[in-house]
Amino acid sequence: MAGRALMQNREIIDPDFYVAHGYPHEAWAELRRESPVFYWDENENMPFWAITKHADITQIGKMPEKFLSGPDLVIRTDPEPPGGEFQPPPTLIQLDPPIHGKYRKIVSKRFTPGALRKITADIDRVAAQIVEGLLAEGDEGTCDFVEKVAAPLPIAVISWLLGVPESDWHLLFDWTNRTLGAGDPEYQIEGTDPGETARQAMIELFQYFTKMVEDRKKNPTDDLVSLFAHAEVDGKPLPPMDVLSYCMIIVIAGNETTRNATAGGMAALIEHPDELRRVQQDPSLFQPCIEEMLRWTSPIIHFARTATEDFELRGKTIRAGDKVALFYPSANRDEEVFEDPYTFRVDRNPNRHIAFGIGEHFCAGAHVARLEMSYAFRSLIPRIAEIEFAGPRDRLRSSLVGGIKRLPIRYKLHAA
Ligand code: HEM
């Protein structure tokens, strides 16, 4: 079978492939064509069904009772880490119905379009601090775009939302790298495995937020830590560990993803200078351009689900207990949904990408991410006179997040 020949390299799940080559679009295209529901039993640590079509991922995402997010949201490629003393509780993203909806309501109140309208000006103000830092360095230069803009931008916004003071932003950066990037040697604590690296980062994060929660209980404010500290489910206060895991999911989910959409979006503009000129000449294309960046970069490579009962899909039987992996970047190149899926088009319309997932667990921070990226590119795009890569990009070793660790660029700006 074609899928099996392709998968001999394990590329769609192999973190080493991602670090060396980026996304395996050829393998995904062949799987979509030849074997869209494909069982890969040679991933010793966790055999799984690879789901690569937009329609199938959409269907599974909308059946949260049949396909659970807990306990395994990620297909493990490394052996199971030894159980340590500290086992973090499940976060929102791993909860299943009916409890998931009750917990999700806590944060979704804060992220409705109406509530976000009130904080758009604040997000612009926080983002301006970062973007203006780059623009203030003169009208030409060389920099690592990740270090200057793509990484600090979401950290600043998430910190501001949570109520973390600027002096501690670097801690959030470090915790995100060590949890989502635990499989990358650059972030691994020497002498430990990825599981231990992530666990230690989570302990530090929990200790930090324990103090913040205690403070907000006594002195309520408008920030998210205060919201979680005072939240109730079924008329009862949230257990202390759940308050902390809520803080953790906001830190972890909101940083690395937006970082990579922003860095990957900038890389796409450099690789497509004609599209950059089009959006410079027509500001009405800014918003469609952001959506195209999200489709093009699809920063989450996969999330997994566990089937609760046998399920037929395209003639294959997914058995109860089987794992399925939803490959969002593959769905976002699906020829049945997107015209010219391999062309980056800033005026793409419609653009039904699922970079933020679909169904029950649709990204709670999607509008926050859009606001951050819109601000950054609205400020930067009109100023770009010339831009090119100043070296190769450095990728994260991960088959969960398509991370860009460094993106060296050389630029000339139009005068302000
Ligand atoms: C471009 C940036 C982002 C991308 C590509 C992204 C992607 C995703 C995806 C694919 C999911 C679905 C998970 C699933 O189906 O299992 C998700 C869920 C989630 N995201 Fe995002 N995300 C981004 C930014 C953010 C931001 C900025 C925040 C917080 C402010 C955030 C918070 C969350 C939360 C809390 C969930 C869990 C929702 C639930 O389980 O109900 N994300 N995200």
Per-residue pLDDT tens for 222-274? 999 999 999 999 999 999 999 999 999 999 898 989 999 999 999 999 999 99
Peptide linkage before 71 cis (omega within 30 of 0): yes
Beta strands in 169-291 (DSSP E): 232-233, 236-237
> What local confidence, expressed as pLDDT, does residue 192 receive?
77
Q: Report the residue among 105, 356, 368 best suited for mutation to probe ligand 1: largest number of ligand atoms under 8 A from its CB.
A: 356
The label of the residue with tokens 């601090």 reads 129
Beta strands in 238-365 (DSSP E): 302-307, 311-313, 316-318, 323-327
Listed as own residue / partner, the contacts of 221-228 with beta carbons closer than 8 Å and 24 or more positions apart are 221/163, 223/161, 223/162, 223/163, 224/107, 224/110, 224/161, 224/162, 224/163, 224/250, 225/162, 225/163, 226/163, 227/106, 227/107, 227/110, 228/106
Q: What residue spans of 109-151 are helical by DSSP H?
A: 113-135, 145
In this structure, the residue with its CA closest to atom 6 of ligand 1 is 356
> What local confidence, expressed as pLDDT, does residue 299 receive?
97
> What local confidence, expressed as pLDDT, does residue 179 receive?
83
> What local confidence, expressed as pLDDT, does residue 416 receive?
77
Nearest to 122 by CA among 89, 94, 163, 150: 163
Q: How far is the CA of 300 from the centre of ligand 1 (A)?
A: 9
Which 3 state secondary structure label does DSSP give 18? helix
Strand bridging mode 302-307 / 48-51: unpaired
pTM of the model: 0.95
How many Å apart are CA 317 and CA 82, to the nearest integer? 32
> What local confidence, expressed as pLDDT, does residue 46 receive?
93
> What local confidence, expressed as pLDDT, does residue 281 receive?
97
> Is the minimum distance from the CB of 104 to ligand 1 under 6 angstroms?
yes
How many Å apart are CA 242 and CA 226, to the nearest integer? 13
> What local confidence, expressed as pLDDT, does residue 2 receive?
47
Backbone angles phi, psi at 290, to 5 degrees: -65, -45
> What local confidence, expressed as pLDDT, does residue 86 receive?
61
Q: How far is CA 403 from the centre of its chain?
A: 9
> What local confidence, expressed as pLDDT, does residue 26 receive?
93
For the chain, residues with pLDDT lower than 70 are 1-9, 80-87
In this structure, the residue with its CA closest to atom 21 of ligand 1 is 363
Nearest to 383 by CA among 347, 413, 351: 413
> Is the minimum distance from the CB of 257 to ligand 1 under 6 angstroms?
yes
> Is the minimum distance from the CB of 331 to ligand 1 under 6 angstroms?
no
The label of the residue with tokens 């599974």 reads 60
First CA to last CA across the chain, in angstroms?
57
Which 3 state secondary structure label does DSSP give 372? helix
Strand bridging mode 323-327 / 48-51: parallel
Which 3 state secondary structure label does DSSP give 99? helix
> Is the minimum distance from the CB of 300 to ligand 1 under 6 angstroms?
yes
Cβ–Cβ < 8 Å for 341, 97: no
Cβ–Cβ < 8 Å for 256, 314: no
> What local confidence, expressed as pLDDT, does residue 85 receive?
58
Nearest to 413 by CA among 394, 386, 393: 386
